[in-house]
Structure 1
Amino acid sequence: MTLGYHTVGSGATKVVWAHSWLAGHESYDCMMPFLDAERFTWVFPDFRGYGSSRGLTGDFGVREMGRDLVDVADALGWDEFHLVGHSMGGQAAQWVSGQPDVRDRLSGLVLLCAVPSRAFPLDADSARLFEGATDSLDVRAAVISAVTGGRLGTGFVRYVNEASRKAVDPAVMRAYLRTWTQDDVSDEVQGYERPVLVLTGQFDPVLTAAVTEEQIVPQYTDVHRRVLDGAAHLPPMETPARTVALIEKHLLTGAEELRG
């Protein structure tokens, strides 16, 4: 069964967006008004257990996530498409880019505050915090505040927390937490030679530019890096217009204009 998804636009440039751990496609509602709906077709799937895919079960692993993203493109009849992976979704996007039967169809890749393909193990204190966030909304609020640097106030935290609560159940969050902290698929990420845009948040306290430079950039031959000023780990909510502008420019120009 194909993932549920939300579509914006009907343009010739086709994009699949892979979401983060905290919530499904609704977490990108802040970006929707800024998307170019004439030149692009944007598809926002919900991974298994989230939102419109809430009834779908599985192993909730990286490979399954990646195959499900490709299945969405297949269901839409897309021979070629771009892929944007945010946080946990970025780990799945990296796996997709390394698959010999898919990478020639992948016109472009954007990794936004992405979890490395080798996973991102947490120290003991962080692991307890994130585990606690799966069951407790109060702890989840603390996580949301932490990954955005505690900069955006209680209203922002409440907004993200509510989107998360509505989108996903605790058991599913626990399964995906194990995935992005433990599933190492780095040996399967190789051979993708088209331009890759790597975006990190200026204030992201965890998946920093240094982490990205060490663990993600070496996988690719044509990498274009940008730091999103004013954002931490949730740029689609923190700086939605700027995030959209950079991604659209990269996908339309092959990153040529980003060199300057």
Structure 2
Amino acid sequence: MTLGYNTVGGGATKVIWAHSWLAGHEGYDGMIPFLDTERFTWAFPDFRGYGRSRGLAGDFSVPEMGRDLVDVADALGWDEFHLVGHSMGGQAAQWISGRPEARDRLSSLVLLCAVPSRAFPLDAEGSRLFEAATDDRDALATVISAVTGGRLGAGFVRRMNEVSRRTVAPAPMRAYLRTWTQEDVSSEVKGYQRPVVVFTGRHDPVLSAAVAKDQIVPQYTDVRSHVLDGAAHLPPMETPARTVALIEEHLLMGAEELSN
């Protein structure tokens, strides 16, 4: 079965957005007003276990996420499309870019605060906290505050907590936690020659620009990096208008130097 998804806009440039671990497509509602809907058509799928795909079972692996995203493009009739992979969704996006049957359809790749293809293991304390966050509201609030650098206040944390708990049940969230912290697909990420832009949040305490430079950028040849001022790990929620503007610039102009 195809993932549940919604689309925004009716433009000629087609874009699929792969969401983070914390929330499905609802987590991006705040940036919808800033999307260019005349030049772009945006698709927002929910991975299995999230949102509109909450009833879909699976193995919750990186390849499954990647295949499901390509199936969404098929369902939409999109022969070519751009792909934005945010956090956990970025790990799946990297896997797609290495698949010979898929990468020729991928016009460009945007990796936004992406988990490296080799996964991102947590230390013992981090593992306990993130595991607890799958079914404990207070632990989830601590995670949300931590990944945004403790900068955005109780209202932001409360809102993200509500969206996350409404979006995904504990069991799939635990399964995906094991995926993005343990599943190494880096050996399959090779051969992609089209433009890639790697965004990191200046205040991201974990998936920083240094991590991206070391673990993501070397996989690609036509690649640029950009640090998002004012953002940590959740730029679509923290700095939605600026994040949308920079992504659209990349999609329209390729991986040329982004304006500051």
Query: Shared fold by TM > 0.5?
Result: yes
1:74-85 correspondence runs (5 A): 74-85=74-85
- Which letter maps to 1:18? A
Alignment-derived partner of residue 225 in structure 2? 225
The alignment partner of 2:171 has SS state of helix
Rounded to whole Å, the distance in 2 between the matches of 1:192 and 1:92 is 14
Q: How many residues align?
A: 260
Unaligned 5+ runs, structure 2: none
Cα deviation for residue 135 of structure 1 reads 1.2
1:152-191 Cα distance to aligned partner (Å, 9 max, x none) = 0000000000000100000110000000000000000000
- Which letter maps to 1:237? M
1:1-260 correspondence runs (5 A): 1-258=1-258
1:11, 1:38 within 8 Å by CA — same for their partners in 2? yes
Unaligned 5+ runs, structure 1: none
Rounded to whole Å, the distance in 2 between the matches of 1:224 and 1:30 is 26
Rounded to whole Å, the distance in 2 between the matches of 1:254 and 1:231 is 23
- Which letter maps to 2:8? V
Identity %: 80
Rounded to whole Å, the distance in 1 between the matches of 2:187 and 2:55 is 31
Rounded to whole Å, the distance in 2 between the matches of 1:90 and 1:162 is 23
Q: Would you identify which runs of 4 or more consecutive aligned residues in structure 1 move more than 3 Å? A: none
Rounded to whole Å, the distance in 1 between the matches of 2:194 and 2:259 is 15
Rounded to whole Å, the distance in 2 between the matches of 1:127 and 1:25 is 25
2:49, 2:168 within 8 Å by CA — same for their partners in 1? yes
Rounded to whole Å, the distance in 2 between the matches of 1:117 and 1:185 is 5
Rounded to whole Å, the distance in 1 between the matches of 2:170 and 2:259 is 42
* TM-score, normalised relative to structure 1: 0.99
Rounded to whole Å, the distance in 2 between the matches of 1:255 and 1:31 is 22
1:4-59 Cα distance to aligned partner (Å, 9 max, x none) = 00110010000000000000000001110000000000000000000000000000
- Which letter maps to 2:160? V
1:201-229 Cα distance to aligned partner (Å, 9 max, x none) = 00000000000000000000011110000
The alignment partner of 2:162 has SS state of helix
The alignment partner of 1:204 has SS state of coil
The alignment partner of 2:161 has SS state of helix
Cα deviation for residue 257 of structure 1 reads 4.9
2:110, 2:199 within 8 Å by CA — same for their partners in 1? yes
* TM-score, normalised relative to structure 2: 0.99
The alignment partner of 1:258 has SS state of coil
Rounded to whole Å, the distance in 2 between the matches of 1:40 and 1:220 is 25
